[in-house]
Amino acid sequence: MNTNAFRSLSYGVYIISTLDGERPTGCVANSVMQITSSPATIAVSMNHDNYTNSCIEKSGKFAVSILSEQSAPGLIGTFGFQSGKEVNKFDGVEAVEKEGISVVADACAYVVCKVIDKMETSTHTVFLGEVIDADVLKNEDPMTYAYYHKVVKGKSPKNAPTYLPEEKEEEKDEGEKWVCSICGYVHEGELPEDYKCPVCQQPRSVFVKK
């Protein structure tokens, strides 16, 4: 089986937010889809190991912030490569509150849902939510999963439904390359002393020469 075929499916890049008690939390996801139009329902796939999963279960609500091609790549590092159980991911992130849920302001649109059903798989929970609010924030093109990999040059968090542990980029002789050991971002060329990863904001010291 050639799992690369899965990459021909269309995905977006989203930040799923919910509540941890009264504190906002969330994570990055790429498996979100509209199920019905009337009533409008949305399904989101969430890894069992994501802290956001249990928070959605308890709160019964979630929001989808749809990132655009102009959204700051650092949002993916903030929400995708650390746990909301250990840090407040919304610290320093501009957000607006919609139906009691924090939505990322640097997104092109958002959807807020109340959970009406769920399906369990061996590794993920698929939450089905009825839409209670939605709006467009910016007139920008949504970021696709392909754009994130090819242009932003980011990697998938290990808890992502589409994560492929065996994925490898084609080797090209384009000079030295440095790989972020946290998020997998690849920097080509010389690495300045004050360099920070554009995806996860980690310093030069976490980069490994490829």
Q: CATH classification of 11-147, choosing from 2.30.110.10, 1.10.12.10, 2.160.10.10, 3.40.50.720? A: 2.30.110.10
Tell me what pLDDT residue 189 has: 86
pLDDT band at 84 (very low <50, low <70, confident <90, very high): confident
Give the CATH architecture of domain 172-210: Single Sheet (2.20)
pLDDT digits (tens, 9 = 90+) for 29-48: 988 999 999 999 999 999 99
Domain range list for the chain? 11-147, 172-210
The mean per-residue pLDDT over the stretch 136-157 comes to 74
Q: Phi and psi for 137 in degrees, rounded to 5?
A: -100, -35
The overall average pLDDT reported for the chain is: 85
Residue with tokens 């302001």: 105
Amino acid symbol at 199:
V
pTM: 0.77
Predicted confidence band of residue 78 (pLDDT cuts 50, 70, 90): confident
Residues 6+ apart with CB under 8 A from 146: 7, 11
Closest CA to 186 of 143, 146, 148: 148
Q: For residue 103, report the phi and psi dihedrals to the nearest 5 degrees.
A: -115, 135
Please name which of 131, 160, 141, 120 lies closest in space to residue 28, comparing C-alpha atoms.
Answer: 160
Taking Cα atoms as reference points, which of 52, 130, 63 lies closest to residue 102?
63
pLDDT digits (tens, 9 = 90+) for 89-142: 999 899 999 999 999 999 999 999 999 999 999 999 999 999 999 999 999 999
| pLDDT tens-place string over residues 172-202 | 445 788 888 877 788 888 888 888 888 787 8
